[in-house]
Each structure stands twice: as C-alpha cells, then as structure tokens.
A = this chain, B = another copy of it.
Amino acid sequence: MLIREATEEDWPAIWPFMRGILAAGETYTYDRDAAEDAVRASWMLPLPGRAFVAVDDEGTVLGTSKVSRNHAGGGSHIANGSYMVDPAHSGRGVGRALGAHSLEWAAAAGFRAMQFNAVVETNTHAVALWQSLGFTVVATLPEGFEHPRHGFVGLHIMYRKL
C-alpha cells in the first residue's frame, strides 16, 4: 500500500465509494445527498490543506484522507483530518495507514495538534482506531448526531498533540 497526494485524476475513483458512505449518513456530517461538486471542493483542498489516497500495487484507490486547518487565524496551528475507506477494501488496515500518515504529514507541515470535530459515537471502529493512534475524546455532545438507524447518538470531539 502506498499513500500519496491525491490529484484531480483520482477523483473518479474516490467519488463512488465516498458517495455511498455519505448517502448512508451514519458516519459523516455531510448532507446525505450532497452534490458532487461541493464535496469535491471540500475534500480536494489546496495548501495548507491536502488530500491523499491510499493505493495498492495495481494503483487501485483503497481510501482517501484530507488534512486542513481546523480553524483559521489564531487556530491555524491545529489540523483537522478526515478519512474514508472504500468498503470493498475494509479490514486491510487502510484507515490506520491513512491516519498514521496524516499525523506524520501534519507534524511535518508544522501543525501542533490534530482535532476531529465530529466522530459519531456508534462508529466504534473509528473511535477505537483513533484512540489507538493517541487521540482522546475531549468532549461528547449528547445527541449530537442523528443516526438514520439509531436515532440521536453522541458526537465525539477527539484531539491529540503532534
């Protein structure tokens, strides 16, 4: 598995699984019917943000990540990270590899910490992954996320220093 910067040419490989993940509405705070152009603009970021893809030996895109400033101005030193793995390639450590890579990249880019604003409590796989990579839950917003099957569930804010 190789992780490299995403290019516009990668988007047609990213969008099909990203669209499915967003349409499910269970893990991300995008609108479930978010328009492709708006999602692409929010994901394929120019510097100081950056989008990445994890690809296998044949060049197949397995997942994608992005890193950006969580806030501007006086908050510019804290990064935000987002991650999506193609469900067809889950269970191969793609999320962990993207997470570890983004932490290294953000530290090298000068960020001092990384924050996730919205980790859905019922996404236990993601919560455990981020905890194993050094993140802690700094707050849980009660009923912060409306899950299509579970109703209102908690929404974690997670954080770690770099």
Contact = CB atoms under 8 A, between A and B. Distances in A.
A117 B73 contact: no
Nearest to A77: B146
Contacts of A133: none
A101 interface: no
Interface in A107-162: 112-113, 115, 117-118, 120, 138-139, 141, 143-148, 155, 157, 159
Interface in A69-88: 71-78
Contacts of A28: 73-74
Given A72-B34, A73-B29, A115 B141 contact: yes
Contact of A144 (B31, B34, B78, B147): B78
A118 B71 contact: yes
A129 to B, nearest CB: 20
Contact of A75 (B26, B29, B115): B29
